[in-house]
Amino acid sequence: MDLELRHLKIVRAVAESGSVTKAATRLGLAQPSLTAQLKRIERTLGGPLFERDRNGARPTPLGEMVLSRARVLLPAVRELQEDAVRFANTSEDIPGYRIGATHGPILGGLVERLTSAYPTTPVTTRTSWSARELTSLVTSGRLDFALVGTCGDSPPPQAEAMSWSTVAADPVFVLLAENHPLAGEDELELSQLAGECWAVAPGDGCFADCFAGACTRAGFVPLSIYETDVATCLHLVGVGKTVALCQATFQLTAGLVMMPLVGAPLRWRHLLGWHDDSVASRVSSSVVHHARAAHADTVRRSRRYADWLIAHPRFRAVP
């Protein structure tokens, strides 16, 4: 008998259930049938995979080895199937991708991936500081997708009028000048920045309120806040006049350092939205997949953030 994927699924089910009886129920099989299949699998692999007694089933050393391979192979095959479905769902279903985005790290990588995957399908973009403007353009049919951000678990604009998928969530870090007295720390308490002025980019979401609330919980009110474009924010930070909040995927420029905040008191969630009645809804799962891959690319390019994720395994950047 040749070993098949369904055989590995049986081995995994028995190991995870702890008994053949429970595994049979989980797989929707009769116990005698599952027991017979397991015996055939064991003959194929050359020995017993489980020690079975009145207390259940425990993997033998051979079983542990097979399980370790199965736990790699089965998810890989499932991912292959999902990718094949996405690949088969070609962009021939829609005339083009019209994507609106607030300023963030994902749009460039998303465009790169879509144009590579579907080279004959036009991709157009529009950026705005206003998430409300972009969602209005989607609901009116002038855009296919809106890529926006929200603070924490706050809902996006027109949450009920569109379908939304979370692409990723990142902690918010702080930008300092490289000669700032705190620039050598591993991470900072937000309260350590109580005496600083702040530079922020404009937006119409809830982030200003979230930031004010985090500062209040840290015991201070910001001295001054300069709302301006990104280039001016970076200039003010670089010359030591302000500090600035940034997404953890931010690509550092010369003269700046990026510092994590203890406890990640602020979190930024990237969302992709579309209208269910639009043609774009047919390919929404594919676009979400490419957006998540683009975000993963930005994480890999940010050594500081990648190291932070390793040190904080409970924080899930991708849903």
d(CA 53, CA 58): 9
- Each residue of 200-258: pLDDT tens digit? 988 877 778 888 899 999 999 998 999 988 899 999 999 999 999 998 998 888 999 99
At 8 the pLDDT is 93
| CA angle 263–247–184, rounded 5-degree value | 65
Task: Return the half-sphere exposure (C-beta side, CA atoms, 13 A cut-off) of residue 38.
Answer: 28
Q: What is residue 92's DSSP assignment?
A: G
Question: Which pairs from 57-61 meet CB under 8 Å and 24+ separation?
Answer: 57/14, 57/15, 57/18, 57/19, 57/20, 57/23, 58/18, 59/15
CA 112 to chain centre: 18
Residue 63: pLDDT above 80? yes
Residue 86: pLDDT above 60? no
Residue 89: pLDDT above 70? no
Residue 82: pLDDT above 80? no
The model's confidence at residue 124, banded by pLDDT at 50, 70 and 90, is very high
In terms of Cβ atoms closer than 10 Å to its own Cβ (0-12, 13-18, 19+), residue 206 is middle
- Each residue of 30-47: pLDDT tens digit? 889 899 999 999 999 999
Torsion over CA: 234, 239, 241, 245 (sign): positive
- Residue 64 vs residue 105, higher pLDDT: 64
At 14 the pLDDT is 93
Residue 107: pLDDT above 60? yes
- Both tokens assigned to 47: 């020995």
d(CA 311, CA 111): 31
- Each residue of 172-195: pLDDT tens digit? 999 999 999 999 999 999 999 999
Residue 88: pLDDT above 70? no
The percentage of the chain sitting over the pLDDT mark of 70, rounded to a whole number, equals 95
At 12 the pLDDT is 93
Q: How many CB atoms lie within 10 A of CB 67?
A: 18
- Each residue of 128-169: pLDDT tens digit? 989 999 999 999 899 999 999 988 888 888 777 789 999 999
At 242 the pLDDT is 96
The percentage of the chain sitting over the pLDDT mark of 90, rounded to a whole number, equals 59
At 29 the pLDDT is 84
Bridge-based pairing of strands 145-151 and 267-274 is antiparallel
At 105 the pLDDT is 86
Amino acid at 23: A
Torsion over CA: 65, 66, 71, 73 (sign): positive
d(CA 278, CA 282): 8
Residue 265: pLDDT above 80? yes
Helix 20-27 / helix 5-17 crossing angle, nearest 10 deg: 130
Averaged pLDDT for residues 277-303: 91
Local structure of 138: helix, strand or coil: helix
Torsion over CA: 166, 308, 183, 239 (sign): negative
- Both tokens assigned to 207: 């982030």
d(CA 203, CA 207): 8
Distances in whole angstroms, Cα of residue 263 to Cα of each of 113, 134, 185, 220, 312 = 33, 32, 15, 17, 10
Averaged pLDDT for residues 105-121: 93
The model's confidence at residue 25, banded by pLDDT at 50, 70 and 90, is confident
At 92 the pLDDT is 53
Residue 87: pLDDT above 80? no
